[in-house]
Amino acid sequence: MGDETAAGKLLPVNEGLVTGTDNEPRDVQLLGSKCDRCGEVSLGANAVCLNCGSDRITGIRLAPEGELWTYTVIRHRPPGGYLGPDPFEPFAIGLVELPDGIRVMAPLAGDVDSFEIGCRLRLEPWILQSRDGPAYRAFRFAAVAG
């Protein structure tokens, strides 16, 4: 990583996973890959199809909205070097079904008791600041108002 961790830099939480820049951290979209042979859609920039092994892949931007397929609520502080709020606050993690034909696992923003299977969710940027190191450009989903 080296120089990439300079102050003010926002590193992608995973290379090839999200769009956005240091200047426009709110302009976040999920990147995906679509197989030209079998049509399989996968999360992130992949060189090979995870379904059929073809290397005929087209990079795509995944839809920013989807439906909550299932979710769970984390009500106890995870072990290890958890960097979330102190004191701990429960949070939700969901599988969000996108119209691209893929389900994406992601944190859910908002009251953990407010989610329902099938509710509409929208991608939003989420900046993660490590204690002594860099900040990361990540993502989560939040309920669509209305």
Query: SS3 letters for 75-127?
Result: CCCCCCCCCCCCCCCCEEEEEEEECCCEEEEEEEECCCCCCCCCCEEEEEEEE
**Binding residues for Zn ion, total number by CB under 5 A:** 8
**DSSP secondary structure code for residue 49 in this structure:** -
Contact between 49 and Zn ion per CB under 5 A? yes
User: CA 33, CA 50: separation in Å to the nearest integer?
Assistant: 10
Contact between 40 and Zn ion per CB under 5 A? yes
Smaller CB distance to Zn ion: residue 49 or 68? 49
Amino acid at 140: R
Contact between 58 and Zn ion per CB under 5 A? no
The minimum distance between CB 33 and Zn ion, in angstroms, equals: 10
Smaller CB distance to Zn ion: residue 38 or 83? 38
Contact between 41 and Zn ion per CB under 5 A? no
Q: Which of 10, 11, 28, 35 touches Zn ion by CB under 5 A?
A: 35
**In contact, 18 and 30? CB cutoff 8 Å:** yes
Strands 91-98, 65-74: pairing is: antiparallel
Contact between 38 and Zn ion per CB under 5 A? yes
Smaller CB distance to Zn ion: residue 20 or 46? 46
Contact between 48 and Zn ion per CB under 5 A? no
Residue ranges that bind Zn ion, judged by CB under 5 A = 35, 37-38, 40, 49, 51-52, 54
